[in-house]
A and B are shown apart, each in its own frame.
Chain A
Amino acid sequence: MGQKDRNRPAATMHRYANPARFLRLARTAQPWAAALTIICLSAGLYLGLFASPAEYQQGDSVRIMYVHVPAAWMALFVYTSMAAASFAALVWKHPLADLFAKAAAPIGAGFTLITLATGALWGKPMWGAWWVWDARLTSVLVLFFLYLGHIALTNAFDEPTRGARAAAILALVGFVNVPIIKFSVDWWNTLHQPSSVLRLDRPTIDPSMLWPLLLMGVAFTGYFLWVVILRMRAEIAARRIRALRFSRAAG
């Protein structure tokens, strides 16, 4: 069983391409994603805002980290998942892949906006500036515009498949920006501090700060799954409405 499927990743993938099958899966996963978000968010906020210590140089301003850093992780993760989905859409014509990219883009834009806004609020007391045009900040601003461009392009054509195709190409081309963001703090001079969690060796951050950070990261991941499922459901229903209206108009 599954002998043929195993040799062809596209065939295995297409088993999940059926919207009815996806919707069943989504309805099961959605409450779990919501529960994961709420539980981890409560624990992460409590630890981050009240139970964790202030940092010895930055004082309590370091607590901005517990929303800024997970939001930045998500901004990169969501874009990476969109690029992967766009690849699947262009190469294997997977019908849910376009749907996922369209549903994910506004969430990624939201996380990027949070990253930029909280970064400015952290930069002002620590660096003395809301904004500096260095490589890290500028490349994240570019990421924000890539998200906005993706949203605009998806909706720019009368025929949805053409918009999806153009947006998929943008997502793939724009992916070069992701490693630039990640390594910008190592390649260029910057005020921005280097990574203290996602390192090749081991985290240099203290466990009392690492725990709330990881909990917020899991909460944001749960949030992304929850909202992307909702948005995919809305889009599947919207397509059904279009098809039903069309058949009603046709006869």
Chain B
Amino acid sequence: MTEDIRALSAQYAADPSSLVFLRLAEALRRRRQLDAALKIALQGLSRYPHLPEAHDLYARILTDKHDYANAFDEWDTVLRLSPDHLGAHKGIGFLYYRAGEPDHALYHLRLAAELDPGDAGLRAAVERVAGGEEIWEAPMPEAPPEREEEARAVTVAAGDPFAGLEGAEERLLLVDQDGFRLGGGLLSSDGVDVSEAAAAVLAGTAREATRAARMLELGEWGHLTVEAAGVGVCLLRPTPDTSLLCTMDAGLPAGQLSFFAERAAKAARAWLERVR
């Protein structure tokens, strides 16, 4: 194994942009050299951010490091990129089982077993979680249990992220990556509540900003500011999976809008940390 790692390291050093990082990091992981594995996996991910195998590998390393929350997010990313990814379904199934959510665990483990029917260990795991062999006679659910909706409901029930901030209900709007309103509110210049309409477009706008910044090599984007009729608008991402819109009268200095937006982003981050 040591020689394998040496050989793989040499290959990786000769061509850092190759996919050999997957094998090298996996070899290091199996040797329990987790920090080294993590470093290689992250280097690979920075080059191949849309490669499901890279996220899957990273998730396995995070799991070995007992960082289950981030591992879950990584496998969730894998399933967004590749919905039938065997490793991600197994991984998420394991994490759900570990978290005491057998229904969700079972859904993902059964999907994994369908993808790899020859894996006897996986079949045994499904039967163990289900409590018997008769699980195979039950129809496979078409969709996972409504965890995401539940999580959103919990988040929204946790109060407003901008409570106490000026303009919390009319000039600040926080949405998740699917455009679901998490907090705040937005009024048009004539006082109409436009929160839902803006929320629907906000996440997509943030995704376009991310794409433009990446492809034009602008680095990670910090803010998108917009001047419109009578209003200044600032769009930020308090976290990678949320978007925040702040508006302010156009007559005020641009610096004041930035300050206001940064303050709101900080409040949103603190609130998200609390509710998550």
Q: Do A and B bind each other?
A: no
Question: B: which residues have CB within 8 A of A?
Answer: none
Question: A: which residues have CB within 8 A of B?
Answer: none
